[in-house]
Amino acid sequence: MANVNPSAVDPAAKNPSAQTDALRVGDLVFTSRLFVGTGKYKSFEQMVSALDASGTVCVTVAVRRAKLGAPKGESLLDHIDRNRYSLLPNTAGCYTADDAVRTAQLAREAGLSEIIKLEVLGDEKTLLPDPLATLEAAKILVKDGFKVFVYTSDDPILARRLEDAGVAAVMPAGSPIGSGQGILNPQNIRIIVENAKIPVIVDAGVGTASDVAIAMELGIGGVLLNTAIADASDPILMARAMRLACDSGRLAWLAGRMPKKAYGAASSPKEGLSKISKN
Amino acid sequence: MTDIEKNSGAARIEINGEPRHVAPGATLADVLKLIGAPKSGFAVEKNGDIVPKSRHASEEIREGDRLEIVTFVGGG
């Protein structure tokens, strides 16, 4: 039941390319399933190279007070090619629905775009989402015309409630933000995917490439990550690893994995073994 | 900023929590030019309400106004 193999129904998926297998979120089309954050890099130069290596087409950004009188070249947007990357502003750092809604509205005014990564956190230690405040803010933003990509816990019922509220995509956490613990509850992510009619993007918790592959093999639409690239010893190399892992996991999902078995099953024929007879 | 600060009738305002002085009758567009705000990729709130770009040229700034100017920074 978990293995609903889309290649069985969609001929284009049999030979997937970035174009035929693009992720669609409402009317938005993403030719890469990797969403990459722009925080924590050592320099803008490093960030630019890492984004390039990741193959992403959509990057997240945060909304903060502008530094007054900052010279040209010091602003993030001076380093992001808007023809290549679309911006997904976040409401990171918001702990109430009101703050998140206000931040989203400022982001829309600044970026002239309706897409927002909604994030309402419960506390500073765990950085886990506040489910009730997240749902409350999601309802307000949907009503206000936003295309809401909502960061949430991996709770399947909450994911459904958010979908019912009209969000564009649900983004369950693999594990806490920046923790690098990977996908702690793949079963919950699987249930969310099975129930959802909108894209599911795993957001937060990825530590290394295999986490991305494991997440993609669950049939999700994409993965959003930041720290796993930015905090790697070589962020550019890790960005490339993430790109390959994302493609690998996606292809494995489309291919439909073999069922797990309790015991060994030989790959070579049992019959026809050559026997040497000695006198 | 200097020439405006010399003006005795300067209006005291706050931008991103910092006190500033602007000429009486200055518009929001004047203030943004003065502080060297970028041409795009930012948003302005005056006293808690967003002022859309289309209104920057006509929005008058008065004594005691609190401006918040935000932009995009690196984030996940």
| pLDDT tens per residue across span A141-191 | 999 999 999 999 999 999 999 999 999 999 999 999 999 999 999 999 999
**pTM, 2 dp:** 0.90
Q: What is the pLDDT of residue B29?
A: 96
Q: In chain B, what percentage of residues exceed pLDDT 90?
A: 75
Q: What is the pLDDT of residue A10?
A: 52
Under the banding of pLDDT at 50, 70 and 90, the label for residue B3 is very low
Task: Locate the chain A residue with the closest alpha carbon to B43.
Answer: A110
CB contact under 8 A, A66 and B70: yes
Mean pLDDT value of segment A78-90: 96
Predicted confidence at residue A278, as pLDDT, reads 78
The pLDDT value recorded for residue A15 is: 67
| Residues in B touching A92 (Cβ below 8 Å) | 75-76
Q: How far apart are CA A135 and CA A137, in angstroms?
A: 6
Give pLDDT tens digits for A114-136. Answer: 999 999 999 999 999 999 999 99
DSSP 8-state assignment for residue A171: E
Asked about A117 being catalytic, the answer comes back as: yes
The pLDDT of B16-20, averaged and rounded, is 94
ipTM exceeds 0.90 = no
Q: Nearest 5 degrees, angle CA B59-CA B63-CA B69?
A: 55
CA atoms within 13 A on the CB side of A123: 2
What pLDDT score does A5 carry?
52
Of residues A74 and A265, the one with the higher pLDDT is A265
| pLDDT score for B27 | 96
8 Å CB contact of B70 and A225: no
Which segment of A61-65, A154-158, B7-11 scores lowest on mean pLDDT? B7-11
pLDDT of A80 > 80? The answer is yes
Q: How far is B9 from chain A (nearest CA, A)?
A: 23
Chain A residues within 8 A of B70 when measuring between CB atoms:
63-66, 106, 110
Least confident of A39-43, A71-75, A258-262: A71-75
Q: DSSP H helical segments within chain B, as ranges?
A: 2-6, 28-34
Q: Say if strands A147-152 and A115-118 run parallel, antiparallel, or are unpaired.
A: parallel
State the nearest Cα–Cα gap between A132 and chain B, in angstroms.
Answer: 22
C-alpha to C-alpha distance for A167 and A153, rounded to whole angstroms: 15
- Dmax of chain A from CA atoms? 96
Contact B70 A39 (CB under 8 A): no
A100, A129 contact by CB (below 8 A) = no
For residue A7, the model assigns a pLDDT of: 46
| Chain B interface with A: residues with Cβ < 8 Å | 15-18, 35-38, 40-45, 50, 52-53, 68-76
Decide if B73 and A87 are in contact by the 8 Å CB cutoff. Answer: no
Share of chain B above pLDDT 70, in %: 89
Q: Which residues does A137 contact at the CB level (< 8 Å), separation at least 6?
A: A91, A97, A100, A101, A104, A118, A120
Contacts of A65 in chain B (CB under 8 A): 16-17, 68-71
Summarize pLDDT for A208-255 with one digit per residue, the tens: 999 999 999 999 999 999 999 999 999 999 999 999 999 999 999 999
Nearest residue on chain B to A112, judged by CA atoms?
Answer: B41
Mean pLDDT of all residues in chain A?
A: 93
Q: How confident is residue B38, by pLDDT bands cut at 50, 70 and 90?
A: confident
> In this prediction, what percent of chain A has a pLDDT beyond 90?
87
- Are the C-beta atoms of residues B69 and B43 closer than 8 Å to each other? yes
Q: In this structure, how many other beta carbons lie within 10 angstroms of the beta carbon of residue B24?
A: 14
Let me know if B54 is exposed, middle or buried by CB neighbors in 10 A (0-12, 13-18, 19+): exposed
Residue A68: the pLDDT is 82
Q: Does A277 or A250 have the greater pLDDT score? A: A250
Q: Is the pLDDT of residue A1 over 50?
A: no
